[in-house]
C-alpha cells in the first residue's frame, strides 16, 4: 500500500482527472490527500512558471484548482 501511495503522490495527474477527485477518494486519509495535492500544486506551479517564461508547450496549469482543493481539505 505504501508503494501505491508514493506513486499517487509522485504522479497525481496519472491517477486523478482533476484535484477534486483527490478529495472524493474515500479510501485515502486526509494526510495522504494533502500530500497528493501538495505534489500536484508543486507541479502546477512549475508549469505556470515555465509558461510565464515561454518554455512550455501550451499546457494549462492546474494551480488554481489544486489550491482550491487544498483549501477545501
Read off the pLDDT of residues 13-26 as tens digits, 9 standing for 90 and up. 999 999 999 999 99
Of the pLDDT bands very low, low, confident and very high (cuts 50, 70, 90), residue 51 is low
Residue pair 65/48 in contact (Cβ under 8 Å)? The answer is: no
As a whole number, mean pLDDT of residues 47-71 equals 75
- Across the range 30-54, mean pLDDT stands at 87
Amino acid at each position: 500500500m505504501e508503494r501505491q501511495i508514493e506513486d499517487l503522490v509522485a504522479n497525481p495527474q496519472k491517477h486523478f482527472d482533476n484535484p477534486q477527485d483527490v478529495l472524493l477518494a474515500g479510501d485515502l486519509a486526509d494526510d495522504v490527500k494533502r500530500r497528493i495535492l501538495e505534489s500536484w500544486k508543486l507541479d502546477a506551479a512549475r508549469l505556470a512558471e515555465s509558461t510565464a517564461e515561454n518554455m512550455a508547450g501550451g499546457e494549462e496549469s492546474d494551480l488554481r484548482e489544486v489550491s482550491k482543493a487544498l483549501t477545501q481539505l
